[in-house]
Amino acid sequence: MRLHDDTIALVRERARILDQFGDGQLKRTGREFLARCPWHDDHRPSLTVSPRTNRVFCFVCARGADSIGWLQDTQGLSFTDAILQLADRYNVEVKAADEADAERLRAESAERVRLFETRAQQLERFSSDLLFSPGLEYLQGRGLTMETIEQWQLGWNGRRVMFPLWDAQGRCIAFTGRVLDDSKPKYKNSPNDLLYQKAEQVYGLHFARDEIVRTGHVVVVEGQFDVIRCWQEGLRNLVAVSGSSLTSAMVEKIVRTTRAKKVTLCFDGDTGGLKAADRALRELQQLVLQGELELQVLSLPAGQDPADLAPDMAHLLESAPHWVKWWLEREVGQVDLTDPQQIARAESGFRRILQVLPDGALREYVRRECKARLNSMPLIPAALVRTTRQLDACLWAERRALRLYLLDEGSRPALQDVSYTDPVNQYGRDLVLAIEGMAPNQPEQLRPLFSKLLCRAPGDVRDKLMPLAWPIPEVTRVITDNPVGELEAALTVLASEACQV
Ligand SMILES: [Zn+2]
């Protein structure tokens, strides 16, 4: 859906840049504020946060953003999602760009209201039905107090205990029902609809958010009951995947909304739990290796889940091993070194681990373990992993080069050979080449023609490239004052090892 210009303009006007920072992130200097720049390795705060221009700007990176761009960058949102999030926060009416979209938007919003009302009524009915049902006895038998049952608004519907599922604002969007006996299916979710998409749902995030934000640590368990039982025990940073596998999209959602830095996977020690942990590990590997997250994995004794172990969980979580250590034990922990077949299996286990690890301390640790246990060392080349910050630095250097190309004729010869890896930047480069082909002897026409033609590009491409042709005044000043410095800054990053693919 493309948003109406009025909506975008109103969000731009109302969203205040200062609101995008938490207490303690800002230092006042006169009428402006300083914060750490997230785009370079910033030791003394060099990001100016200006209420006057309603933007952030870093002179070191020659990079700035308004509230929308800031949300996009720091939370990994698309332009539209950033607008929608800010529109919600600043009470801006969301309008679609064309009539067909607008009609759909109205219909969807009416359907949402209806669904929320239905869920609220169900919530009330299920809660009151619980009081005279076998469900209450079951929940109390599993150690829940009345207070906890009420807090989590557990309910009863026919044969099932009902667990309400919540959205980020704490509204009930769906239910999971659990049977008390062994009949199948054991768990049943509401059907997917406008409010609820099973694959994206992380159970308990709404309750756990504050504690995750406070500690930077989120614990992921398998079942809803585990979350609630541990909550009662005072462990309040737990969420559950409840029946589906943990995907990197779920983790990104958690990390985006809580800034969590550390994830502990806590799965049952039976075969199903171990397989779930394997899958989750594969999903998260990239994020972890890019330096975005710390990861630990705790496998509980087979047959026991966090709910059974609730009083000891805090202690158990403290002892959770680093993911590489856990993986290593899983692959080679039980090896009988007198059995050649087992030794061969252990060696391929070590190979699998070494294949994904880039050069560094972790890889050295695994190599040492391999040497110690098998007295041999498989030859596996180190994986090449760029951290998110490196990826971003390369991408930004490309943008800086393209911007300089558009703005400074004198720098163009030096920038001819830059190779662009990002598709949007490639689009910009292709546009430049096309214009130069059309108007070969009019270098001063490049920038105006570029922005004219860009109007026909897809919305997100246009949003990303237009600021390169028409940057904010601070950036224009940096470039006119010192084009050679700007050229050097861009080329230095592009020539660095991290940007050589
Ligand atoms: Zn910076």
What confidence tens digit (pLDDT) does each residue in 30-47 have? 999 999 888 887 888 999
The C-alpha atoms of residue 132 and residue 101 are separated, in whole angstroms, by: 47
For the residues 119-146, what does the mean pLDDT come to?
95
User: What distance in angstroms lies between residue 82's CA and the mean position of ligand 1's atoms?
Assistant: 22
Q: Is the pLDDT of residue 220 over 80?
A: yes
Cβ-in-10-Å burial (0-12, 13-18, 19+) of 240 comes to buried
Confidence of residue 243 (pLDDT cuts 50, 70, 90): low
How far is the C-alpha of 427 from the C-alpha of 432, rounded, in Å? Answer: 9
d(C-alpha 174, C-alpha 163), whole Å? 9
What's the 492 CA to ligand 1 centre distance in angstroms? 15
Q: What is the CA(38)–ligand 1 centre distance, in A? A: 7
Q: Could you tell me the distance, in angstroms and rounded to a whole number, from the CA of residue 62 to the centre of ligand 1?
A: 7
Distances (CA, A) of 287 to 291, 344, 393: 7, 30, 17
What letter represents residue 439's amino acid?
Answer: A
Distance 137 CA to ligand 1 centre (A): 58
Ligand 1 centre from 497 Cα, in Å? Answer: 20
Ligand 1 center to 43 CA (angstroms) = 10
Report pLDDT for 51: 93
Distance 261 CA to ligand 1 centre (A): 21
DSSP code of 242? T
Rounded distance between C-alpha atoms, residue 403 and residue 383, angstroms: 33
Distance 48 CA to ligand 1 centre (A): 10
* Other beta carbons within 10 Å of 246: 24
Structure tokens at 480: 């006119």
Q: Would you say residue 171 lies in a domain?
A: yes
Q: In this structure, are 72 and 139 located in the same domain?
A: no
Distance separating the N- and C-terminal Cα atoms of the chain: 34
Is position 61 within any domain?
Answer: yes
Expressed in angstroms and rounded, the spacing between residue 58 Cα and the centre of ligand 1 is 5
In a domain, 287, yes or no: no
Residues 473 and 423 reside in one and the same domain: yes
| Residues 368 and 394 grouped into a single domain | no
What is the CA(39)–ligand 1 centre distance, in A?
5
**Same domain for 84 and 152?**
no
Q: For residue 191, give its domain range.
A: 119-195
What is the 8-class DSSP label of residue 292? S
- Comparing 144 with 80, the larger pLDDT belongs to 144
d(CA 36, ligand 1 centre) in Å = 8
| 74 C-alpha to ligand 1 centroid (Å) | 13
Identify whether residues 140 and 185 lie together within a single domain. Answer: yes
CB 30 within 8 A of CB 49: no
Which of 167, 195, 223 corresponds to the end of one domain? 195
CA of 359 to the centre of ligand 1 (A): 27
**Same-domain check for residues 394 and 476:** yes
Local structure of residue 268 (DSSP, 8 states): -
Average pLDDT of every residue of the chain: 89
Q: Of 195, 229, 251, at which residue does a domain stop? A: 195
Q: Is residue 408 part of a domain?
A: yes
* In a shared domain, residues 68 and 145: no
Kindly give the distance from the C-alpha atom of residue 428 to the centroid of ligand 1, in angstroms, as a whole number: 23
Q: pTM of the predicted model, to two decimals?
A: 0.73
Query: In terms of domains, do 37 and 131 share one?
Result: no
Q: Is residue 277 part of a domain?
A: no
Q: Return the H-helix or E-strand segment holding 163.
A: strand 160-166
395/353 same-domain check = no
Question: How many angstroms does the Cα of residue 72 sit away from the middle of ligand 1?
Answer: 16
Residue 384 has pLDDT above 70, yes or no: yes
Distance 255 CA to ligand 1 centre (A): 22
Instruction: Assess contact for 113 and 119: CB atoms under 8 A.
Output: no
Residue 56, domain member (yes or no):
yes
Say how many Å lie between the CA of residue 349 and the centre of ligand 1.
Answer: 42
The residue whose two tokens read 């252990």 is 346
Cα(29) to centroid(ligand 1), Å = 18
Q: Mean per-residue pLDDT for 123-131?
A: 96
Q: Is residue 303 part of a domain?
A: no
CATH number at residue 149: 3.90.980.10
Q: Where does residue 41 rank: exposed (0-12), middle (13-18), buried (19+ CB within 10 A)?
A: exposed
Spatial CA neighbour of 85 closest among 200, 174, 3, 192: 3
Residue ending a domain, choose from 89, 106, 129: 89
Cβ(472)–Cβ(55) below 8 Å: yes
Query: How far, in Å, from the CA of 474 to the mean position of ligand 1?
Result: 13
Centre of ligand 1 from the C-alpha of residue 57, in Å: 8
Q: Are residues 359 and 393 in the same domain?
A: no
Q: Are residues 392 and 495 in the same domain?
A: yes
Ligand 1: distance of its center to the CA of 284 in Å?
28
How far, in Å, is the centroid of ligand 1 from the Cα of 33? 15
Q: Taking the alpha carbons of 350, 354, 359, 360 in that order, is the dihedral positive or negative?
A: negative
Q: Running DSSP on this structure, what letter comes out for residue 3?
A: B
- Asked whether residue 261 is assigned to any structural domain, the reply reads no
**How far is the centre of ligand 1, averaged over its atoms, from the C-alpha of 37 (Å)?**
5
Number of domains in the chain: 4
Same domain for 402 and 495, yes or no, is: yes
Q: Each residue of 153-212: pLDDT tens digit? A: 999 998 899 999 998 778 899 999 999 888 888 888 888 888 887 777 889 998 998 899
Q: What's the sign of the alpha-carbon dihedral 430, 435, 438, 444? A: negative
